[in-house]
A and B are shown apart, each in its own frame.
Chain A
Amino acid sequence: MRIKCPYCGERGNDEFSYLGDASVKRPDPSAADASDAFYAFAYERKNVAGPMQELWYHAAGCHAWLVVTRDTRTHEISDVKPAQDVALEQQKTASAP
């Protein structure tokens, strides 16, 4: 499997390390159900068969965190974005009226 790093270009997956699902969000610690929400945040993951967004780290390259959209059945990668850009985009969407 090869991942096209937006900064470095296409590299072998030996240069990357895998964190997991990029869609989980840290819950609000002040919410009433915070304890359950944090349990789910830390431990509960979907076993996706198909495209999912994942966090990968270009450890042996430019040290950027990436959000990779990968089909778990075929390893086909349809999209790679810097995690920073994804986070900033989500912040913008969240704060938009």
Chain B
Amino acid sequence: MSNLANGLAAGKGASISERSDIAVTHVAARRGARAALDDAARTAFGTALPSAPRVIEAGTATIVWAGPDQWLFIEKAQAGSDPSVKLAATFQGLASVVDVSDSRTLFRLAASGPSEALIRGMGIDFEHNSFKPGDVAITHVSHLGVMVWRLPDGSGYEFACARTYARDFRDWLGKV
């Protein structure tokens, strides 16, 4: 796994790191299976899946809303145990489950509020506390598709972008 963040300077007063040793799984509900999928999620993770653009911490997994009836599950990568295989078994017949660990790069910006780059460069409203802890947005930055969420404990923001654009996005994130 690459580690793009280390060689580059972080933005002013902000600490930016690439998240490593994680497994990212995309889960999309099958048609008509949403209620049953929520039941399966309650059994496995103790919570229903978010219906609004929110991120929740559920035991060993972070569940990020990724569009209507779609989610990203972020879990710690473990040798000899593939989280996406486990998820596929948990949601057998209820959802399409795809391991996207190698196609997404995740960055974390440790900051109590939005950086200048976010406020000026993203088309969503970060000011006046309108993007609250736990909120998620799928948007773009200079034509690069990006998901952003604010950590539920308010300690920072995380971003998921396509791996091939990760260096460009990281450059942008550290600019201001």
Which of the candidate stretches A28-36, A56-64, A89-97 sits at the interface with the other chain? Answer: A56-64
A61 near B68 with CB under 8 A, answer no
What CA separation (Å) do A11 and B139 show in the bound complex?
9
Contact residues on B (Cβ < 8 Å of other chain), bracket: 10 to 19
- Count of chain A residues near B, Cβ 8 A: 13
**Which residues of A in the span 1-46 have a Cβ within 8 Å of any Cβ on B?**
7-9, 11-12, 14-15
- Chain B residues positioned under 8 Å from A11 (CB to CB): 123-124, 139
Please pick, from A14, A62, A82, the residue contacting B123 in the complex, using a CB distance under 8 A. A14
Please pick, from A14, A60, A62, the residue contacting B68 in the complex, using a CB distance under 8 A. A62
- Chain B residues positioned under 8 Å from A8 (CB to CB): 53, 137-138
- Chain A residues positioned under 8 Å from B123 (CB to CB): 11-12, 14-15
- Chain A residues positioned under 8 Å from B67 (CB to CB): 7, 62-64
- Chain B residues positioned under 8 Å from A60 (CB to CB): 138-140, 145
CB distance from A82 to the nearest CB of B (A): 7
**Which residues of B in the span 139-176 have a Cβ within 8 Å of any Cβ on A?**
139-140, 145
B68 near A64 with CB under 8 A, answer yes
Whether A7 contacts B53 in the complex (CB less than 8 A), given A64-B67, A64-B68, comes out as yes
CB distance from B122 to the nearest CB of A (A): 11
CB distance from B31 to the nearest CB of A (A): 10
A15 near B137 with CB under 8 A, answer no
Additional pairs, 20, CB under 8 Å, beyond known A7-B53, A64-B67:
A7-B67, A7-B68, A8-B137, A9-B53, A11-B123, A11-B139, A14-B123, A14-B140, A15-B139, A60-B138, A60-B139, A60-B145, A61-B138, A61-B139, A62-B53, A62-B67, A62-B138, A63-B67, A64-B68, A82-B68
A: residues with CB less than 8 A from B are 7-9, 11-12, 14-15, 60-64, 82
